[in-house]
Structure 1
Amino acid sequence: MKWVYLVAGIALFVKMLIVANPEGEWTELSIVESIVTDSGVPNAVSGIIFRNRLYDTIFEVVVFSIAVLGVRFLLANEQPTENVYQFSDRPSIVLARLGATIAALVSIELAIRGHLSPGGGFAAGVAGGTAIGLIAITSSSEWMETIYTKWKAATIEKVSVLIFIILAVLTLIGWELPQGELGMLFSGGVIPLLNILVALKVALGSWAVILLFIRYRGLL
């Protein structure tokens, strides 16, 4: 049977080299222009994520929430570590906190203007999580947990997910905010709100995971 697989593999390879892939005719319709027109935002990727594929995006947010809960569950029965290794030299601390400041500003920019330029809620959340991680490796874990509790980050994270799901469901059943003028900050209907909610969820969820790994693994 090996020679059958070999012949089939060679035939497939030759087919990919010789036979051209069929191309669609899009002379009368531009998919990107259609998405931009329907969503009301210049960033077609945001239009797809929060409009054309909104049903999928809902479950992506839910999966991330389940991942955070899974980390809490798996580490619940372990003993907190006694040794937490962090940066102690001044140059590394200064560079890490400078990087955290830049990442935080980028996160805010991506969350607020993600529907107008490359970026969006998920990218903003990753940038925010990066900023939190850089602060975590230069600060005491007790201080990080105190801030996390003081500002009720866990509650805000859960509320952001709930509001996101409610707005997404309303959008799916046909309720939409006015799109506004294309290219302006207050445009795109509900998409900017969904961007901000996703950014909050991802950043705060990353913060929770970072604190758990520091407490039980001491990897930092």
Structure 2
Amino acid sequence: MKWVYLGIVVAIYLKFMVIPNPTLELPDPSIVELVVADSGVPNAVTGIIFRNRLYDTIFEVVVFTIAIMGAKFLLANEQPLSEIHQFRDQPSIVLARLGAIITALVSIELGIRGHLSPGGGFAAGVAGGTAIGLVAITSNSEWMEGIYRRWRAAIAEKLSVLVFIVLAAISLAGFALPEGEMGTLLSGGIIPLLNILVAFKVALGSWAAILLFIRYRGLF
């Protein structure tokens, strides 16, 4: 079989070297300008994700939810660690907490203004999950789980997915909110709401995954 793999590699390499890459001749206005005009938001990537490819985005959110549920299911039969080692030295704690504050602010910024500037719901959710992870490596795991249960984060995560699917279905059905003035915070119709919901869902899902892996695998 190794000769087959080698032949495939050589064929792909020859394709790259011999067959030229096709060039795309864009008419005026360009595709980016058309996407921006169609979605009503300056961030063309956000316009594509939450308008042109909204059907795909729905299933991306659902797949992320299933991944978190799968991790919980696979680890359910294992025994939690009796002792979890965490960062105890003061410099590491200060740096981690400072990093958590910065990334949390970045997450909020990306979630609220993701349709106006580079960023978006997925990036905002990752930044929020990073902030939670930085706090988790320097905090008591039971305290973190207590906050997770107290604020019913698991229910909030599932509700955010359901609300996102409902709003996305309404948008796909042809109903839309007023787009507002291009470049302002209240513009883009339903896109800013979808952006915030995705950020909220990804951050809470990351929180659940962090707690699971800390409980059963520890930090190191």
- Shorter-chain TM range is over 0.9
Identical residues among aligned pairs (%): 72
Q: Are 2:147 and 1:147 equivalent residues in the alignment?
A: yes
Q: Using the alignment, how far apart are the partners of 2:140 and 2:75 within structure 1?
A: 20
Aligned to 1:103: 103
Query: What is the letter of the counterpart of residue 89 of structure 2?
Result: D
> For 1:5-30, what per-residue CA distance to the aligned partner results, in whole angstroms no more than 9, with x for missing partners?
99997787566445533323323331
> What is the total number of aligned residue pairs between the two structures?
219
Q: Are 2:30 and 1:30 equivalent residues in the alignment?
A: yes
- Cα 1:13–1:175 change in 2 (3 A) is same
- Cα 1:18–1:213 change in 2 (3 A) is closer
Aligned to 1:128: 128
Per-residue deviation, 1:80: 1.1
Q: Using the alignment, how far apart are the partners of 1:137 and 1:177 within structure 2?
A: 42
Query: What is the letter of the counterpart of residue 41 of structure 1?
Result: V
TM-score of the superposition, structure 1-length normalised?
A: 0.92
Listed as ranges, the gaps of 5+ residues in structure 2 are none
Whether the aligned pair in 1 keeps the contact of 2:180 and 2:188 (CA below 8 Å) is: yes
Query: What is the letter of the counterpart of residue 99 of structure 2?
Result: G
- Cα 1:203–1:28 change in 2 (3 A) is same
Q: Using the alignment, how far apart are the partners of 1:8 and 1:81 within structure 2?
A: 46
Aligned to 2:176: 176
Per-residue deviation, 1:169: 0.6
TM-score of the superposition, structure 2-length normalised?
A: 0.92
Listed as ranges, the gaps of 5+ residues in structure 1 are none
Greater shift in the superposed pair: 183-192 or 13-22: 13-22
Aligned to 1:204: 204
Query: What is the letter of the counterpart of residue 211 of structure 1?
Result: L
Aligned to 2:163: 163
Per-residue deviation, 1:213: 1.1
Query: What is the letter of the counterpart of residue 208 of structure 1?
Result: A
Per-residue deviation, 1:215: 1.2
Query: What is the letter of the counterpart of residue 59 of structure 1?
Result: F
Query: What is the letter of the counterpart of residue 164 of structure 2?
Result: F
- SS state at 2:189 partner: coil
Greater shift in the superposed pair: 13-22 or 23-32: 13-22
Q: Using the alignment, how far apart are the partners of 1:15 and 1:35 within structure 2?
A: 32
> For 1:104-130, what per-residue CA distance to the aligned partner results, in whole angstroms no more than 9, with x for missing partners?
000000000000000000000000000
Aligned to 2:194: 194
Query: What is the letter of the counterpart of residue 58 of structure 1?
Result: I
Query: What is the letter of the counterpart of residue 202 of structure 1?
Result: V
- SS state at 2:81 partner: coil
